[in-house]
Structure 1
Amino acid sequence: MRTFVHGAAAWDVACPQRPSRVAGVTMAGFRVPDLDALRMVPHPAVTLLLEFGPGSPVVDCAGGRQQRGSVVAGPGLGSGGAVWARGENVECVQVRLSPVIARAILGASPADLDGAVVALDDLWGRDASRIRERLGHVSSWQDRFALTDALLARRHEAGPSVDPEVAWAWDRIVGGRGLVRVDGLAAEVGWSRKRLWSRFRSQLGLPPKRAVKLVRFDHAAHRLVAGEGAARVAADAGYVDQSHLHRDVMAFTGVTPASVAGESFLAVDDLAWPTHRTPTKPHVARDLASTAGRR
């Protein structure tokens, strides 16, 4: 376990020694004595927070709504800067799920989350309490990661998969860092635009155009945190100009690019998720090719 220090934030962070057995799953462990008003910055993944410590994280959402304890949130959580996390003596395993596998693991489509933060109890029932107890009884972080990974692998194996065409389109967007013409995706998979848009939204939780904007923003935001200038980031990340980047960052976070560069939520990624860029998955292309004759 290593210590992350960023401004007033000081968190203990643990990383798995082995990758997950499920492609599209990454995780990190956190021990935070005092989590003080952490802005949740939108990210192109489904977030699963499994808490087990003496304290309990609190997620403050728009409209005064709150969720405590273990939670799930769809891709793009925190758009507009409307979601904050806080708490004392928080210990948790945070899992990032590719939307392509989230439906199988959660037992519900990310679209059912509707951009909200949902209590894990509402999705998994008593299983949520069981996993919390088991994580609390394990003494090491590597054992906690192994326990969590085994649970996710079982659920993934038993759950439904998304259409190969939808998975392929998502991987094209992520692999291209959002620099993809969405109108061309349907033609590339041999579907109508209406069909792809409908399946993509229902299975992954957001429409393709929104996915492109979110992936592009995520790439740009991490470059800002790394200290690159806004003008260069805008040019390299596919924005029309710096004003375009400014508008996108404001829409996703509610603050300026200069402020985003100081967000602890993003800065911790280099320690907690050192390989947080999601690679394309070769098996998706093979699956897509195998279904071409059945359309």
Structure 2
Amino acid sequence: MYQERASRLGDGSMLWSDTARSAGSQTRVTPDGCLDLIWNDGVLLVAGPDTHAHLIANLPGSAFVGLRFAPGTGPAVLGVPAAELRDLRVPLDRLWPGDRVRLLAARVSAAEPSARGSLLEAIALSRLADHGGPDPATRLVAARLREGGTVERAAAAVGLSRRQLHRRCLDAFGYGPKTLARVLRLDRALRLARSGMPLATVAATAGYADQPHLARDVKDLTGVPLSSLCPRGPRGPERPRRPTHPAGSAAKRSTPLPSGSRTTA
């Protein structure tokens, strides 16, 4: 069962938990511009920012707890540029000293299930206190782009050239401002569609030229039609989010983990 709540980080980050569904079910993970710190059955992992959707086979009974950082916050916590984690799922001990990660993982694993998320938040808050928070300029850029602003206006708002903005966005978000704007628009559209909003209204509200533009962009970024991601029926649209398998490979392609928006097939 998937659950989420606003994180104590207070910047739009979300704390979530999930238990993998029955054998044979699959989860399509869609891009959302975020990085996640994840506990999965005793292992701490990091899910980097996605540029495309990933189809993952669920392992029944596996438990996940994750902290989904608001765009731009993850690199400040992890100490790694987001571009280095793009489309990857990596064990945390590849980024931080192994002894420290083992102690943190053991502490989270020993806690009551309901307390594990709070421990992930404590880890993140401690890192932010020691190393400083996200770049305020890039947070403003993300807000402007999420609102539908152009790259030129976002750059002007923070006093950067297009080249400077591109470099800062790679570090903070994992991709350039144009791709970030596209991913944030997709994430907003999926949230609106899953709320039950008519698709023509979703397209206009999220900033697409029209409904066919929305349909093309969703298909290009996720590989499936919008109707597959937002099933509509008597119970309304489904809104789960990110899946994971135990660590073993750094690449997201071979070691899927929970992170991003997701739909279960």
Q: TM-score, normalised to structure 2's length?
A: 0.78
Tell me how far apart the structure 2 counterparts of residues 268 and 114 of structure 1 sit (CA, whole Å): 22
Give yes or no for contact 2:20–2:61 (8 Å, CA) kept in 1: yes
TM-aligned CA distance change 1:50 to 1:171, over 3 Å: same
Tell me how far apart the structure 2 counterparts of residues 191 and 184 of structure 1 sit (CA, whole Å): 10
* 1:249 Cα offset (Å): 0.2
1:236 to 195, 205, 229: 205
Tell me how far apart the structure 2 counterparts of residues 131 and 188 of structure 1 sit (CA, whole Å): 39
Corresponding residue of 1:132: 105
The one-character-per-residue Cα deviations of 1:149-168 (angstroms, maximum 9, x if unpaired) are 21111112223544332222
The 5 A counterparts of 1:18-33 are 19-21=7-9, 23-32=11-20
* 1:146 Cα offset (Å): 2.4
Q: TM-score, normalised to structure 1's length?
A: 0.71
Tell me how far apart the structure 2 counterparts of residues 121 and 100 of structure 1 sit (CA, whole Å): 21
* Structure 2 residues not aligned, in runs of 5+: 242-259, 261-265
Give yes or no for contact 1:103–1:160 (8 Å, CA) kept in 2: no
2:26 to 37, 42, 47: 37
SS in 2 for 1:88: coil
Q: Whose helix fraction is larger, Structure 1's or Structure 2's?
A: 1
1:93 to 42, 52, 65: 65
- The structure whose RCO (Cα within 8 Å, separation 6+) is larger is 2
TM-aligned CA distance change 1:237 to 1:202, over 3 Å: same
Aligned-partner residue type, residue 127 of structure 1: R
Corresponding residue of 1:225: 194
Tell me how far apart the structure 1 counterparts of residues 118 and 201 of structure 2 sit (CA, whole Å): 41
Tell me how far apart the structure 1 counterparts of residues 152 and 35 of structure 2 sit (CA, whole Å): 25
Tell me how far apart the structure 2 counterparts of residues 109 and 226 of structure 1 sit (CA, whole Å): 33
Identity percentage over the alignment?
A: 28
Larger Rg: 1
* Structure 1 residues not aligned, in runs of 5+: 1-10, 54-68, 270-275, 277-295
The one-character-per-residue Cα deviations of 1:263-285 (angstroms, maximum 9, x if unpaired) are 9x96136xxxxxx9xxxxxxxxx
The one-character-per-residue Cα deviations of 1:107-145 (angstroms, maximum 9, x if unpaired) are 21111113222222312333333333222211240x222
Tell me how far apart the structure 2 counterparts of residues 202 and 44 of structure 1 sit (CA, whole Å): 12
Tell me how far apart the structure 2 counterparts of residues 202 and 136 of structure 1 sit (CA, whole Å): 31
* 1:216 Cα offset (Å): 0.8
Q: CA RMSD in A?
A: 2.7
